[in-house]
Amino acid sequence: MNTPAPPTAGASLRIEGLGLDIGGATILKDVDLTVEPGALVGVIGPNGAGKTTLFNAVSGVIRPTAGRILMDDVDITRESVPQRARAGLGRTFQTSSLFPQLTVHENVRVAVQAASGGSYSLLHFPKRSDADSIRAEELLRSVGLGHRLDARAGDISHGDKRKLEIAVLLATRSRLVLLDEPMAGVASGDVAGLVDSIRGLQAETGCTVLMVEHHIEVLMGLVDLVAVMYFGSIIAVDTPQKIMENATVQSAYLGTAA
């Protein structure tokens, strides 16, 4: 049986002067952000501040019109989504990106197979006793889904879908993880378990996490640093406590920032 990979050091992320103009409208402007390896950084801001657009640029979904993005000091600004994934960048989206017709276990096993260089095929009905299947089950148990192995991914609750996405990220051994509103639509009773899964993701892999989340009270208790976006720019980066005390941040959320 394959031995699970040891924790891998997280990747650094450096965003320099990032800009995005679409049809004459400025979506991102002069965004600068440095995330150290292994850090857990939250990104907050009012609706329309540019948070998801920033994630789209970092993950390669859109191409910025100015600036650059570096991962471990390597410029990935022009790299494709698959190239970034191979470099160790993983992402969840606001809407689920799972295979709804596959079981919970199959979703993770496919990711384990891909990470270990195996086949993606589900047609050979691999045994539950093979190494990839065992690893998938271990990951699912680590996020609290050991009791839902054979459930169809499309049939589980929204909170469990988010946990499943984290198990998939664990399987891919991503070194830089972008979590786009992981608590969105999650029932209040599932929030604590999801927070534990995010902490477990970082503890098991040592990965760097950048996280957008509207549940401010949850995010503030989870992250090391908070970056605040306002009208496409980052206006503050600091510890959660200092961000909460920042007058500029307070006025931005009240809609009175200059």
Identify the residue whose tokens are 């549940």. 215
Burial, 24: exposed, middle or buried (Cβ in 10 Å; 0-12, 13-18, 19+)? exposed
Task: Report if residue 45 sits inside a domain.
Answer: yes
What integer is the mean pLDDT of 141-152? Answer: 90
DSSP 57-90: HHHTSS--SEEEEEETTEE-TT--HHHHHHHTEE
Confidence band for 196, pLDDT divided at 50, 70 and 90: confident
**Residue 26 scores a pLDDT above 90:** yes
Number of domains composing the chain: 1
Task: Report if residue 94 sits inside a domain.
Answer: yes
Report yes or no: 156 and 143 within 8 Å, Cβ to Cβ. no
Task: Report if residue 210 sits inside a domain.
Answer: yes
Q: 68-84: buried (b, 16+ CB within 10 Å) or exposed (e) per residue? A: ebbbbeeebbebeeeeb
Task: Report if residue 38 sits inside a domain.
Answer: yes
Q: Which residue from 218, 216, 208 is spatially nearest to 91, judged by alpha carbons?
A: 208
Task: Report if residue 166 sits inside a domain.
Answer: no
**Residue 41 scores a pLDDT above 90:** yes
Task: Report if residue 144 sits inside a domain.
Answer: no
Q: Say which CATH number the domain at 240 has.
A: 3.40.50.300
**Residue 2 scores a pLDDT above 60:** no
**Residue 125 scores a pLDDT above 60:** no
Structural domain for 219, as ranges: 13-99+174-254
Confidence band for 210, pLDDT divided at 50, 70 and 90: very high
